[in-house]
Amino acid sequence: MKTISIKKSEISKDWWVADAEGQILGRFASKISQILRGKHKTNFTPHMDMGDFVIIVNAEKISVTGNKETKKTYFSHTGYPGGSKEVSLYSLRRSNPEQVLVNAVKGMLPHNRLGRAILSHLKVYSGPNHPHIAQNPKNLEI
């Protein structure tokens, strides 16, 4: 018996388009992160970037459960003394609705060089239109 490891030249990447309207944030981000990582493929290799490209439309219409709209906060620090920043989900959704989905998916990917490369395959748009028609994406039913 041999364990076969896929080569970089054997990887094929597809394009998927997913509609976030009416979806729950965490459950939706979990499915997207699995597709970006490539775990849905039979020849999945953990140390390689073999996932597909995902286009998310209607990011502004994603929903959350409970009191997360007002209670959930995103924390960041600039690295300077007193440089901590907190932004609530409500205000982030008003200013940059795409960033809400990017943050959710980013937290579910590996926190290393591979995760940053995989995250570059995610394209998020707040409205129903996207500029990736030429890639001929398939509809992703979640």
- Res 114 pLDDT > 90: yes
Q: Judge whether 134 and 56 are in contact, CB under 8 Å.
A: no
Q: Which CATH number fits domain 8-139: 3.90.1180.10, 3.40.50.300, 3.30.700.30, 3.40.50.720?
A: 3.90.1180.10
- Hey, how many other C-beta atoms are within 10 angstroms of the C-beta on 24? 13
pTM assigned to the model: 0.93
Residues 63-83 pLDDT 10s: 999 999 999 999 999 999 999
Maximum Cα interatomic distance, the chain, rounded to a whole number of Å? 58
Provide the residue ranges of all domains of the chain, joining segments of one domain with +.
Answer: 8-139
pLDDT band at 142 (very low <50, low <70, confident <90, very high): confident
Residues 84-101 pLDDT 10s: 999 999 999 999 999 999
CA distance 107 to 54: 16
